[in-house]
Amino acid sequence: MEKTKLNRRKDRIFEIIFEADTYYGKLFDILLLVVIMISVGLVMLESVPMINAKHHKLLVILEWIVTAIFTVEYGFRLYCVRKPWRYFFSFYGIIDLLSILPTYLGIIYPQTKYLSSIRILRLFRIFRIFGLTQFNRGGYTMLIALRKSRAKIVVFLAFVILIVVVIGSIMYVVEGKHPESGFTSIPISIYWAIVTLTTVGYGDIAPVTSVGKFLASVVMIIGYGVIAVPTGIVSAEAMSANLGESKRTTQVCQNCHDQNHEEAANYCKTCGNPLK
Amino acid sequence: MEKTKLNRRKDRIFEIIFEADTYYGKLFDILLLVVIMISVGLVMLESVPMINAKHHKLLVILEWIVTAIFTVEYGFRLYCVRKPWRYFFSFYGIIDLLSILPTYLGIIYPQTKYLSSIRILRLFRIFRIFGLTQFNRGGYTMLIALRKSRAKIVVFLAFVILIVVVIGSIMYVVEGKHPESGFTSIPISIYWAIVTLTTVGYGDIAPVTSVGKFLASVVMIIGYGVIAVPTGIVSAEAMSANLGESKRTTQVCQNCHDQNHEEAANYCKTCGNPLK
Amino acid sequence: MEKTKLNRRKDRIFEIIFEADTYYGKLFDILLLVVIMISVGLVMLESVPMINAKHHKLLVILEWIVTAIFTVEYGFRLYCVRKPWRYFFSFYGIIDLLSILPTYLGIIYPQTKYLSSIRILRLFRIFRIFGLTQFNRGGYTMLIALRKSRAKIVVFLAFVILIVVVIGSIMYVVEGKHPESGFTSIPISIYWAIVTLTTVGYGDIAPVTSVGKFLASVVMIIGYGVIAVPTGIVSAEAMSANLGESKRTTQVCQNCHDQNHEEAANYCKTCGNPLK
Amino acid sequence: MEKTKLNRRKDRIFEIIFEADTYYGKLFDILLLVVIMISVGLVMLESVPMINAKHHKLLVILEWIVTAIFTVEYGFRLYCVRKPWRYFFSFYGIIDLLSILPTYLGIIYPQTKYLSSIRILRLFRIFRIFGLTQFNRGGYTMLIALRKSRAKIVVFLAFVILIVVVIGSIMYVVEGKHPESGFTSIPISIYWAIVTLTTVGYGDIAPVTSVGKFLASVVMIIGYGVIAVPTGIVSAEAMSANLGESKRTTQVCQNCHDQNHEEAANYCKTCGNPLK
């Protein structure tokens, strides 16, 4: 009897914290989102030297209050779920933990407390709360396109990693004798190769010799062609997802069993029989 | 009777200012376009220190003349439309107002007057005036592709914003101790993350530590894959728009006059009549 | 009689210079390509201070010899074509003229002679000479895709131009007071907007204020989405061109008049009648 | 008899070194992969001045041990294959040779030894060893898409090369008089054109004159449109490859067992038999 009462209390807490259907559930979630955004703002402000110098104390106090709230909330979450370990190792469970850990770690290693802005990832819940189905579906289609492209993207990235190691080594041999170029070691040269191939191009490291510039030109033109590959892959998959999803119905003509009719079609396009 | 006369005058002004079918209407619009282009040129010239030093007076006078013209024109527009408020809050109404406001505000805050080059947006009218239907249609197809991609693009941008906050914070923790790297606060680090992920790469902020460079490489390679996503989305939508446009026959059903049949269709998809 | 003889001589010269079917015609074209490549190499070498200092005289003499050859060739071309003016104003006619003009202009304005490397465009003839049909077709499909995208690309570029003027002006107002940022005038700010929106990002001009950096971030994220648009357009058209071109035959079924069969099909996919 | 024995021994070595089906074959391959990764790590570490200063001797000794292993392995490979020359000139044969050469060449030209990180390319074997069929297929589809796009990509690159030479020359004429801009010769200007057109944008070379900046803006906006072309090509081909793969039914003709019919097909396209 006692246990049922406890369970009922647990369920009520669960409903408020995890669900967003009831009035209190929604209120809780909205309050949480606001606190998350304020908290991330606080972390950012604290990192700005000028602001921190003026309001250091206030920011630290507020930061600790927020962390306290999040810690209590985390405790309640662990308390009210049926299978605490499953929540603990779930995507949101890990993020919820990572949202409070940095502040505590900040006592020992002061710098780490800035990592607490990771808690912005908790905002992902926003989609679930407000039932933004249209956006959910958009995100879902993209996810499918990405998942289907996974094998190709892994192959592509593996290829890119091999290629930048080779390019980086060659550039180091060519440019390494000129310290003003910035190619001071192979890892740095590989970093340059990545910066160049991805067309980011900071310019802190740039070839100074003629041979180096020629090789860099070749790398850039290759990169020009190569950047087309992941785009092509994702485009093709997104296209397929689009085709498969929105343009056709799965309706089958009862007369000729022709499938794949347009959504707006009333009659079978092959035999002229009415579609229902 | 008086009112009808007034209305008739209003209508004539309306025809000249808003329409481009009559001789005077077209003349007015062309003159307006010329004045807009001259005026934007003036604002630009005024901002160039060397030119402003020489011709300051001339430029200021011309600028005020143009603004006077635009103000009078804006008054007439408000006067001759049937529903002034609807025009006032319309796309062109806001742009027309923003085209004259900065010059007046420039009396109080001198710098703001340069915002008057916003009046270049008035050139959008060019498409309507010259009836560039081919370009209109091109723009329209693009707009449809973009509108259909909207949900996906919003999800994508939300994802990008969350990711740059996390990346920026981590990089601040890693690079923040090295002021020469430029990672002086989390907002600046987020700015760097955006500059890097979009492959702009100014180079004013760049990691100097090994760990920072390694993390930056990971960010860039992720960005490499991520940049493919919006392109893929828009490509897929543009493709669908194209398909919907060009892969159809111009065949008209003789029974129900429905157009836009698929090439492979034998029967009208709307009324079931055979297509020939 | 005299005239016919003259015409026959003209025709023989025409065959050698313009055509690539005969032995001498092909030989002439190959020699020409070699001379063009050597000549472009010469111009480049002359521009390198170190090499020019050593071999100035030799390079100038060789340059003049090449220009003399090209001038004589240009004269012959004008002489042997039936309609000299049509050649004069044709694509190759203009390039051929631009290939010799800079050297002569170099007598008056020394710097302009370096423009003679424009003669590299004469290499476009390479495709015609060697009958690289596969590449010709590849180029042709791309040209069709680009031509079909023309209206959309013009609209897109017009939109980009309007947007960079507005962004440039706003950034000038925000950053103009900080000369170290490099935003010294609206045209320079527009230049920055283009450098940023196209993700080139030199870094010679970069915002220094917080507001400026925030606006720049917005511009970059917009650019991130916007860069997808031309790619999407061209992808879609290239896709359509691919579909329309290589996958289907124009064969019509003699029984049911169904078109659009696959290249490998032996029987009509709709009625089962043999295809011939 | 002796020969058969020798052949049998050769075959056993072949099975271990080249195949990955047997226990020892797999073990050998995994050991090899580990040694390759360690070895590439060594080369990288040696290139870092700080680490090399401390552990120079150790790194050199380990490097020589690894090279000795690879040399012996290369000898065994040459010994056990039936047609040594075919292996010698094969893709992997060349990479295996290039993996050991730089260390030996490093005795004469010390810098070249860093090229030995090319041995990372040996990791390509990873796909064969672990039978990562999913990734193999992904890579294969990409390869087909790239191969089909080959002609178009060659045309595109040829076009890019011609265009950067012309742009580079014009920019040299415009900016060459301003040594602070960095346009010190035509080859350097061409390098700048490539850096700009590919949107890498280091910023070590950047126009300083108004005309130069205007021309650079034009180049960038052109590049903006041009970058869409290879992406469009690859997208279209990837799409076609996808379509060819997934938009077919798995239906098999009961008469001729032909597969891969279109979804809309009623009759077998090869033998004309009705499909059900």
3-state secondary structure of A151: helix
Mean pLDDT of D237-250: 60
Tell which of A130, A158, A185 closes a domain: A130
Q: Does A272 touch chain C (CB under 8 A)?
A: no
Residues A117 and A156 in one domain: no
Per-residue model confidence (pLDDT) at position A183: 92
The predicted-structure confidence for B161-170, as pLDDT tens digits, reads as follows 888 999 999 9
Is C139 part of the contact surface with chain D (CB cutoff 8 Å)? yes
pLDDT at A227: 72
Nearest by CB: B235 against D200, D202, D235: D235
Which of the four pLDDT bands, split at 50, 70 and 90, describes residue A248?
Answer: very low
Taking CB atoms and an 8 Å limit, are D234 and A237 in contact across chains?
Answer: no
- Is there a domain that residue C272 lies in? no
B37 touches chain C (CB under 8 A): no
User: Looking at beta carbons, which residues of chain A come within 8 Å of C201?
Assistant: 200-201
Which residues of chain A have a CB within 8 Å of the CB of C235?
A: 232, 235
D233: how many CB neighbours lie within 10 A of its CB?
A: 33
Check pLDDT > 70 for residue D136: no
* Chain D residue closest in CA terms to B231: D231
Mean per-residue pLDDT, B22-37: 87
Residue B120 and residue B10 share a domain? yes
User: Domain check: are B44 and B104 in the same one?
Assistant: yes
CB contact under 8 A, B115 and C170: yes
The pLDDT of residue B265 is 59
Q: Does any domain span residue D58?
A: yes
What pLDDT was estimated at residue B246?
45
Give the per-residue pLDDT at C248: 44
Packed helices D133-175 and C133-175: angle between N→C axes, nearest 10 degrees:
70
pLDDT mean over A206-227 = 86
Residue C247: is its pLDDT beyond 50?
Answer: no
Please give the residue that has the higher pLDDT: either D145 or D26: D26
pLDDT band at D207 (very low <50, low <70, confident <90, very high): very high
Mean pLDDT of all residues in C161-180: 90
pLDDT band at D240 (very low <50, low <70, confident <90, very high): confident
Average pLDDT over every residue of A96-109:
89
pLDDT, tens digit (0-9, with 9 covering 90-100), for C193-209: 999 988 888 888 999 99
Mutating which of D177, D255, D269, D271 best tests the C interface, going by the most C Cβ atoms within 10 A?
Answer: D269
CA distance C107 to C114: 12
Q: Are residues A112 and A158 in the same domain?
A: no
Helices and strands, counts by H and E, chain B:
10, 0
Shared-domain flag, residues B113 and B169: no
Name the β-bridge partners of C248.
Answer: C262
- Is B118 within 8 Å of C166 when comparing Cβ atoms? yes
Confidence of residue D68 (pLDDT cuts 50, 70, 90): very high
C-beta of residue C241 within 8 angstroms of C-beta of residue D240 = no
Clarify whether residues D156 and D119 are in a common domain: no
The pLDDT of residue B67: 92
Q: Provide φ and ψ at A200, rounded to 5°.
A: -70, -55
List chains touching B (3+ CB pairs under 8 A). A, C, D
Considering C130, C162, C184, which residue would you say is the last residue of a domain?
C130
Q: How far is D143 from chain C (nearest CA, A)?
A: 18
Are B208 and B225 in contact, with CB atoms under 8 Å apart?
Answer: no
Between the alpha carbon of residue D69 and those of residues C98, D65, D66, the distances in Å are: 61, 6, 5
The answer to whether the Cβ–Cβ distance between C114 and D169 falls below 8 Å is yes
Mean pLDDT value across chain A: 81
Distance CA(B137)–CA(C50), nearest Å, equals 55
Contact A235 B228 (CB under 8 A): yes
Does A201 sit within 8 Å of B201, measured CB to CB?
A: yes
- Do D102 and D155 lie in one domain? The reply is no
**What ipTM was reported for this prediction?**
0.81
Are C23 and C102 in a shared domain?
A: yes
Q: Do D268 and C267 touch (CB under 8 A)?
A: yes
Q: Are residues B159 and B118 in the same domain?
A: no
Answer yes or no: is pLDDT of B198 > 90. Answer: no
pLDDT in tens, B244-265: 554 444 455 556 655 555 555 5
Give yes or no for a contact between B215 and B170, defined as CB atoms under 8 angstroms apart. yes
Number of domains in chain A: 2
Whether residue B216 lies inside any domain: the answer is yes
Average pLDDT along chain C: 81
pLDDT category at A67 given cuts 50, 70, 90 is: very high
Per the listing, tokens 């903006």 go with: D224
pLDDT in the model for residue C21: 75
A199/D198 CB distance under 8 A? yes
pLDDT of residue C212: 93
The length of chain B is 276
Most confident of A178-192, A237-251, C226-240: A178-192
pLDDT of residue B247: 46
The domain of A234 spans 148-243
Taking all residues of chain D, what is their mean pLDDT, rounded to a whole number?
A: 81
A47 and A8 together in one domain? yes
Least confident of A81-85, B209-213, C249-253, D191-195: C249-253
pLDDT for the residue B12: 83
Examine the pLDDT at D188 and tell me if it is beyond 60. yes
Helix (H, G, I), strand (E, B) or coil at D246: helix
pLDDT at A251: 54
- pLDDT value for C130: 63
DSSP track, C168-186: HHHHHHHHTT-GGG---SH
Q: Give me the total of CB pairs closer than 8 Å, taking one residue from chain A and one from chain D.
A: 152
How high is the pLDDT of residue A211? Answer: 92
Q: What residue has token string 């607490």?
A: A116
Inter-chain contact B185–A272, Cβ cutoff 8 Å? no
CB contact under 8 A, A165 and D40: yes
**Percent of chain D's residues with pLDDT above 70:** 81
- What CATH number has the domain bearing residue A158? 1.10.287.70
Mean pLDDT of A108-125: 84
Give tens-digit pLDDT for B86-96.
889 988 889 99
> What is the residue whose two structure tokens read 């011709």?
B55
Q: Of all residues in chain B, what percent carry a pLDDT higher than 70?
A: 81
Task: Compute φ and ψ for A267, nearest 5 degrees.
Answer: -125, 150
CA torsion, ordered B60, B62, B68, B74, to nearest 10 deg: -110
Residue length of chain D: 276
Q: What is the mean pLDDT of residues B36-63?
A: 91
Is the residue at B258 inside a domain?
Answer: no
pLDDT tops 50 at residue A206: yes
Q: Is the pLDDT of residue B138 over 70?
A: no
Q: What is the pLDDT of residue B261?
A: 53
Tens of pLDDT, residue by residue over D18-59, are 777 788 888 888 888 899 999 999 989 988 988 989 999 999
| Residue B227 falls inside a structural domain | yes
pLDDT range class, residue B236, cuts 50, 70, 90:
confident
- According to the model, what pLDDT value does residue A72 have? 93
Answer yes or no: is pLDDT of C144 > 80. no
pLDDT greater at residue A213 or residue D254: A213
Higher pLDDT, D144 or C261: D144
Of residues A200, A203, A231, nearest to C231 (C-beta): A231
The model's confidence at residue C129, banded by pLDDT at 50, 70 and 90, is: low
Instruction: Indicate if the pLDDT at residue C158 is higher than 70.
Output: yes
Please report whether residue C24 resides in a domain: yes
Q: With cut-offs at 50, 70 and 90, classify the pLDDT of residue B29.
A: confident
Task: Please report whether residue C202 resides in a domain.
Answer: yes
**B121 CB-contact burial (10 Å; exposed 0-12 / middle 13-18 / buried 19+):** buried
Query: Looking at chain A from residue 60 to 99, which residues have their Cβ under 8 Å from any Cβ of chain B?
Result: none
Same domain? For B118 and B77 the reply is yes
Looking at residues D128-136, what average pLDDT do you find?
A: 63
pLDDT given for residue A71 in this prediction: 94
Helix (H) or strand (E) holding B57: helix B49-80
State how far the alpha carbon of D143 is from the alpha carbons of A99, A102, A154, D136, in Å: 43, 45, 14, 10
Residues of B in contact with C145 (CB under 8 A): none
Q: Look at residue B203 and tell me if it is in a domain.
A: yes
Q: In the numeric block, which tokens belong to residue C17? A: 């210079």
Of the pLDDT bands very low, low, confident and very high (cuts 50, 70, 90), residue D247 is: very low
Give the pLDDT score at D133.
Answer: 62
The answer to which of A160-164, B199-203, C223-227 has the lowest mean pLDDT is C223-227
D202 vs A199: CB contact, 8 Å cut-off?
no
Q: Tell me the torsion sign for CA atoms C185, C188, C190, C193.
A: negative
B226 or D61, higher pLDDT: D61
For position A65, which CATH number holds?
Answer: 1.20.120
CB contact, 8 Å: C199 with chain A? yes
User: How many B-C residue pairs are in contact by the CB < 8 A criterion?
Assistant: 152
Q: Do residues C120 and C152 share a domain?
A: no
Using CB atoms, pick whichever of C199, C203, C239 lies closest to residue A203: C203
D88: left (phi over 0), alpha (psi -120 to 50) or beta: alpha
The three-point CA angle A17-A22-A27 to 5° equals 60
Give chain C's end-to-end CA distance (angstroms, integer).
Answer: 54
Instruction: State the Cα–Cα distance between residues D91 and D83, nearest whole angstrom.
Output: 15
Read off the pLDDT of each residue in A196-219 and give the average, rounded to a whole number. 90
Q: Residues B113-129: pLDDT tens digits?
A: 888 888 888 887 776 66
Q: What is the pLDDT of residue B119?
A: 86
